[in-house]
Amino acid sequence: MRDSVCGSNAQARQDFRVYLVAHSMGGLICRCLLQNPEVASAEVRALVDKVFTYATPHNGIDVAGINVPQLLSLNDMDNFNRSTMGKYLKVPKDRVNTLGDSGFPPERLFCLIGTNSRDYAAAHGLSSFAVGSLSDGLVRIANAYVEGAPRAFVNRSHSGYFGIVNSEEGYQNMVRFLFGDTCATAQLEITALAFPPEVEAARKRGKNVESAYYIEATVAPRGAYTYELTARTQANQCAIRRGYEELFNADGSLRDDARAPVLFSVFLDSGKILAGSEIAFSVDLAVCNAGYQIDGALLLKHHIPAEYLFRNTLVLFAKPGSDGHWQLRYVWSDEHWAGGSKTAATPVADGTRIIGIRQHGAEVFAIPVRSDKGFAAELKISLAAWQ
């Protein structure tokens, strides 16, 4: 392709790069090209600029919770055994979802993850049944990404009429990752989680209280009516889950190593702005309890389904300022019109970074998140130019 496009033009040949787009096993083939020096030369690998994968089993395929056996060679199914994968990806078998020593930056490999197992009809539904929920019908959510790579979650199956490759969500993520100019990443740092009155009363009586929480985040750009860039929800069986003990100490103080979840990494395109001069996108953010246990017994009699500690839609407006720094404004649209007055997000001190993909020149902003139920958090938004 380089020879056909560039001919003998030395500068054009030097600048030539390609994007690779792959589905399922195709993503592993792309990684084999990038990671296995026996497959391609350093010159060839250097031509690859970005990789976008749909529903690729980056960490293998599990059936009934068991990794595909290495001896199962029928239809080359052993390609998804981690020991076999480690050989052709040139990584240890317990690190097959990494790029190893390839030198290819993980932030330039995007993983689109399907969350709908029900619509995968392959093998008359036997695959979906065997792999189970929390998957796209073939690849489990936990196995569908490369460590350190950006990812999006869409309610689509592995393939078929309702599959991930046919999806509008897949197309919109792909074109923004390949051709967009802005990357936005968010992390939620929870600082307070209050218990309901009856649970708090039991805690004060010396009862042992255990609880866990679902964190949901759905992102869509301005002008999107029929698609979302990413959706991590309970309904789609891919919400983020955190136990109380992962965030707080027994005395209620915040842990020094609290597991603050990364909610999303999305790519945006200022060239698609249809109104105003700012890139605008919405974040449906919700936090609810997954259940309380008091002295090991589930508290059911007071349980109200879908009782959220926090739920609101945040609309963000971002653009580079005249001074070269990013500007970020926001509106909580459940109480205010998105087209009305906006609040400036607070810049965070230089050196602060969000756990997740690495972006050169990223700037971080903080937005307070509060509810009358005693929930408190700080939403950190990282903005960076994307090339």
Flag whether pLDDT at 249 surpasses 70.
yes
Q: Which residues pair with 188 in a beta bridge?
A: 379
Average pLDDT over residues 130-138: 90
DSSP secondary-structure letter at 386?
-
- Among 98-112, 277-291, 324-338, 346-360, the minimum mean pLDDT is found in 346-360
Flag whether pLDDT at 350 surpasses 70.
no
Q: How far apart are CA 339 and CA 337, in angstroms?
A: 5
Flag whether pLDDT at 231 surpasses 90.
yes
The candidate with the shortest Cα–Cα distance to 54, out of 111, 127, 121, is 111
Q: Which helix (H) or strand (E) holds 50?
A: strand 48-54
Q: How far apart are CA 327 and CA 89, in angstroms?
A: 41
DSSP secondary-structure letter at 13?
H
Label residue 251 exposed, middle or buried (CB < 10 Å: 0-12, 13-18, 19+): exposed
Q: How far is CA 272 from the centre of its chain?
A: 22
| Beta-strand pair 363-370/346-347 | antiparallel
What are the two backbone dihedrals, phi and then psi, of residue 285, each rounded to the nearest 5 degrees? -115, 130
Return the number of other C-beta atoms located less than 10 Å from residue 225's C-beta: 5
Label residue 302 exposed, middle or buried (CB < 10 Å: 0-12, 13-18, 19+): exposed
pTM equals: 0.92
Flag whether pLDDT at 139 surpasses 70.
yes
Give 82-115 pLDDT, tens digit per residue: 999 999 999 999 999 999 999 999 999 999 999 9
Flag whether pLDDT at 7 surpasses 90.
yes
CA distances from 218 to 2, 69, 73 (A): 39, 36, 40
Average pLDDT over residues 318-336: 93
Query: What confidence score (pLDDT) does residue 352 get?
Result: 62
Query: What confidence score (pLDDT) does residue 129 get?
Result: 83
Q: How far apart are CA 253 and CA 268, in angstroms?
A: 37
Residue 350: strand, helix, or coil: coil
Average pLDDT over residues 259-277: 91
Q: How far is CA 296 from the centre of its chain?
A: 33
Query: What confidence score (pLDDT) does residue 295 get?
Result: 87
What amino acid is encoded at 104 in this protein?
F
Percent of the chain with pLDDT over 70: 94
What amino acid is encoded at 93 in this protein?
K
The candidate with the shortest Cα–Cα distance to 295, out of 207, 366, 224, is 207
